[in-house]
Structure 1
Amino acid sequence: SPSITTTPSSASTLDEPEEEEEDELGHAETYAEYMPMKLKIGQRHPDPVVETSSLSSVNPPDVWYRLSISEEVIDRGCLSALQLEAITYAAQQHETFLPSGDRAAYLIGDGAGVGKGRTIAGVIYENYLLGRKRSLWFSVSNDLKYDAERDLRDIGAKNIQVHSLNKVRNFHQALKGVIFATYSSLIGESQSGGKYKTRFQQLLHWCGEDFDGVIVYDECHKAKNVCPIGSSKPTKTGLAVLELQNKLPKARVVYASATGASEPRNMAYMNRLGIWGHKTPFREFGNFIQAVERRGVGAMEIVAMDMKLRGMYIARQLSFTGVTFKIEEVPLTQQYINMYNKSVRLWVSARERFQQAANLMDAEQRMKKSMWGQFWSAHQRFFKYLCIASKVRRVVQLAREEVQNGKCVVIGLQSTGEARTLEALEEGGGELNDFVSTAKGVLQSLIEKHFPAPDRQKLYKVKKQKKKPRKHGGLSGTSSDESQSEDSDRESVKDSDESDAVEHAQMMKKELLEKLEDLAEDLPPNTLDELIDELGGPENVAEMTGRKGRVVSNDDGSITYESRSELDVPVEILNLTEKQRFMDGEKNIAIISEAASSGISLQADRRVKNQRRRVHMTLELPWSADRAIQQFGRTHRSNQVTAPEYVFLISELAGEQRFASIVAKRLESLGALTHGDRRATETRDLSRFNFDNKYGRNALEIVMKSIVKLDSPLVSPPAHFKGDFFKGKIQSGLIGVGLINMEDRSGTMSLDKDYNNMGKFLNRILGMEVQQQNALFQYFSDTLAAVILEAKKSGRYDMGILDLGNGDEKVKKVDCRKFLTPGYTTSGHVELYTVSVERGMSWEEATHAWADQSGPDDGFYASLQNEFLETNLQIIERSVQSCSGNACCFRRRGNCKKASVGLQCEVGLRCRTYYVLCGSVLSVWNELEEVLTPVSGTNVKVQIVRLRTEDGQRIVGESTVKLRASERDEGVNSRLSRCARRGRYSPVIEQLHPQSLCHAPST
């Protein structure tokens, strides 16, 4: 028999909880190539299109609807196969009604370039051919009306007229066609007289009570915040969108946006999807949100897959093949660091002066709150401008190189700084000596407008108004005079004190402005003006922003402010003209701001002259993923010769990663819900900057408490930091940015009430000196890594979708229990699979392999090392620390905890058992919660797994906890059967063609 060699281990083992072997599961591929599965009409889309792999594992319902669009239109390729598929499923979904009696809606989640506009036009055209001649189309800008007309014309529906809501004077004239409106006009009032005062009322009247035509909410993320977070109120737009749907229950609603569900909260206006409400698992939208947010990103992935399964959702996007993403980290010069540190010291001084002046003036609480709100808002903008300025030189260098290499460059900015330029222009009487520093303008404006040092004359007027004439009763003249004299003395002393206070406050204000002037020489100029100047001036750079003028340097070296308007070009279409110059190759560099990022296409289109590859550089990551996707979609669209390159420039400043963090968080969530797979955005190399999650907040709490000695640190401070990390500079830096408070008398430190707010922390530490913020951020990052490691060890880390059955793994289906869950659309299923995953080989296979080998070292080796190791030195240290008269130095290692509660222990075994619940999981969410909560707790994540069995079957679903057999049978099986007896679900013994997650094609 074969000999077995053992490898001894000198380490002892710890009695720790067993770690779930999630690392053994491979991460699923992110995207799969997309082709319509059940509809076989139309021509291929001109560009490769993909779908997230989790969504691709879901079969949409069978198609039974027949389109009325003519075969001629289809054969000409006016609508591609995947656009026709979306139109068909939308029309099919519109034939069903929710239990509430409202008609079901459809959500188009296609990304930029798939042709959402033509798909929407196709839905309108289909209904027009069936006699529904009136439609409403809502979007973000009136300019997009021309795109709507073009889309209708392109698909052969040029006879359908498009009326702009703000131009319609007489609704009787617009008897049929499309009324195109912006979301803001939906809440506007009518300028013309008449019976209906608001645009909303006019639209309702035009539609009529029994309206069954199409309502399109294009770019529907603009209707977000119906269900706001915290103390904020719902937006009027969001409420109007909801109200319109409630007033027109028979309308055929289409939601369309690539970013429509970047946060599940923003789905509040999508009440026609039937996920919550009457006869659903979630009575109110709030119940749905609570359930999804409690169970993590995995739950959002379940929602997206379930929506596609039910035939109410589709989400494709252009393949990112050929698109490159990279993060360019910009090193800081010593000169820049010196300027930055000077700015930090000025802001710390400004904060102290603002505090002193507010106390001197005895400012009211309301005034103080307003003052500090303005102060910290300006603080954030100031350092944001400094961060951007650090990258200008590098972006100019990169842009020149790319143009020389035969490419063209698009630079994305969020803000233009125009307001500060106009203020400087006003101060200078319409003349400028140099480029305006936006950063300087921010601080100057704060001091001049919000420093608590009132003008003496204004103060005197206010005091005079407050004084009221006295009424003197039956007092003798003498006593009255004495009383007045005493009051007068007191008032003169008070006036004198107040006058001194005002003078002192005004002196502090003057000193601050003088310090700012001293620093101003070093502060960077307006980024947009500097970029245009460095890249060859307006004649070489196409500017697509919302500002009306710019500062330019002339040939003689002078600096002037000039209007952007041109003699032959109206201001309204200036951005479109600049876009055309870029697309024609007259200019090879374009700078776009948020104002231009909606509706403008800058890709290397086959139909335009400029077909150079686009290099899209982002100096300033947008505040939200909605805006980020909008900007990135400008250069990556359909019908392009080459895919773009994306370059994200991030400086070494630690706090600046705040902006990357926000976008990474929103993109991750967006990938999860809008495209059903959160790793869709992780591949873009941004997720490593994502701190704003539960792990990040936990790490931040540990960091802040350890610095004020309220908690012990989880990790050691950075090795390169000189001095005591937990005293001195780090503490004073955090006091300077208001995250730690210090009592004046006692000197005791306390944490700010919002100390564990991630956004506030990452914003505020920008106001610390460069070395301090980098050291603090490194300490935070190290703590975060330790927190995540601990979460992985305890099996609570969210790993995204995981693969089983890849490589050498063998997945065998052991058992399958099926339950029919009839819904309002189609019969879905919930299926509970028991699968066995075998890693490695059987004893027979191993002995056969050994018999074929004859080398001297061939044989069987068994490692005696355990997963949880402890060196002898660690044992001694632990024992010494914990030993006392009452403490025992010995530890007993008993049986596995799983075995003690009746579960099978499989740690170290070749075969592992997994339980996967798949199908329409949302339908049985409440039953699932009842079963899982007592076993795994309320906040345990939902883990999505994807399997491929030995016979080629693909299974995607939720990996449930490993319950005892009796619990599992009673829990899942009995509860579902009980629901079936109530008429909601029916158990199925055998079904040949189930509409289920579990039977995706095996190709």
Structure 2
Amino acid sequence: MFDAAGNAVHCQAALFARDALIEQLCSLPAIPTALDALIWHFGADRLAEITGRSRRIIPGPDGQQKLDRRSPKANVVETKAFMDAAKPICAFSLAGSTGRSMHSDRNSPSAHLRRVHFLVELGFRLLSAVQGFGRSNRTNQATSPIYRPLTTDCRGERRFLSTIIRGLEALGALTRGQRQTGGQNLFDPADNLESDHAREALNQWFHLLHAGKLGSVSLAAFEEMTGLELATESGELSERLPPIHRWLNRILALRIGTQNAIFDEFMGLVENRVEAARAAGTLDLGIETIRAERVERLSDQLLRADPITGAETRLLRLELHRRPRVTSWAQLQIETRGIENLAYLRNGRSERVALRIPAWSSMDEEGRLIPMCYLVRPGGSARVTIDSLADSHWIDIERDNFQTLWEREVAETESQLSVETIHVATGLLLPVWNKLPEDDVRVWRIDGGDGASILGRIIRPAAIEKLEREFGLGSTVVLSPVEILEGARSGDGIAVPGWGETRLISVFVNGTRRLEIRNFRIEDRDQLKAAGAFSEVIQYRTRLFLPSNRARDILEALIDLRA
């Protein structure tokens, strides 16, 4: 405002607030870099710095800052101190780490210490990340490192992590023909924000935004903040929506609170698709490994021989003797380090234990967030809703009691040895890929522990009949009763050996799951019932079922009758 003479009149309260703010800002300490923060926290006597810096500020004995000049040989001395375990922590940059090795070399005094490699300030440069990984993961190492890519609580920063993941997967596909060669399955599939699952999730997010079902932001506000046009002049959702990389870049320009809210919704949709693909066996992780104590080859059948090269496609029947993979208490502590809001649970019915870890919320079709969590157990993990957990038998217990029960369950699980029979299509697969079942397209490497491995696709029991028809083999593969039951429960039905066209299939009857015998001959009905099957007349048709608690014994008896 102005006075009568036209001079500006300043608000004294505003001037006082401005001066107070400037005084407060000038009194704040300088924000240190990540490297300086590490040195001040751990101390220069415990942290080995391997960088290109010739001078640095470090805390002196009296706690005051002092200038430390570093000679050209400082990196050599610091590397030796870390490898000799004189300094337990190492921080290195691309400029200072060239030619250095920080892995758990078998010849170094620190070989027994497993490296936990934290990747700070990801950036977009894939080669820098790969070279950094190579410092701590090299030949002649006692143990492989654990990688920890770091991001802040700003959700948009996951965009940089996604770039590294996509690049590592592409690098693996180019160098070895399998995606996890570069990434080594370091990241969860949901971390790749430029995958097909993420693109589908983004498309659904756009539709929910257009329908006004999201709580993070409205359509008009999002278009104004990002400059992206999602709706046409008539109000309909545009057919040419922005690609995911452009959407991710625009998200970075939003306020942190808005970023986090949007990413919570988006990641919930991504997790839903990844979990669904994982459950259906269609989640493409590249080549996965099955490790067994012993692998016995029960049968070996030729499916196809290439007419030019002579390369063969074979169907193997293998018996795997496996010990379950378990997570020790020490490994659990490493994997959950830095994670907040952990809960130690025990099941009041089974007496088993599980660690509850926060997870991304899921989202239903109406845009409502569903709080989720992971239950980590010694033999695996599962993603469940918070509501279902509250209605279950899981209860909180003390950490010390949890550790005792966890270690006891690990010991019990490790002592178990399971025997499993599988069928594997191996050899030259690409020419016959379209003839193989589509229910599980994953490629597995089966390691028998003797240095030899088998690479191929696992064929489920329910798909054996289709495979035999595709290759004109006839009924040559004999399945065990366990495999027949597994195939009946997971497929479209499976033949019962020796009983002609009779098939066993899983069906719903009166709201319950049953095993039904179909296509049986009328003259075989009494014999089937005598073996243990029971009949019901449903809609004027007689149907035969196997009791679920005795299905295996009855099936074995039926096979023996016609053997």
Q: TM-score, normalised by structure 2?
A: 0.45
Find the structure with the greater CA-based Rg: 1
Q: Which has the higher strand share?
A: 2
Q: What's the TM-score, normalizing by structure 1?
A: 0.28
Greater helix share, 1 or 2?
A: 1
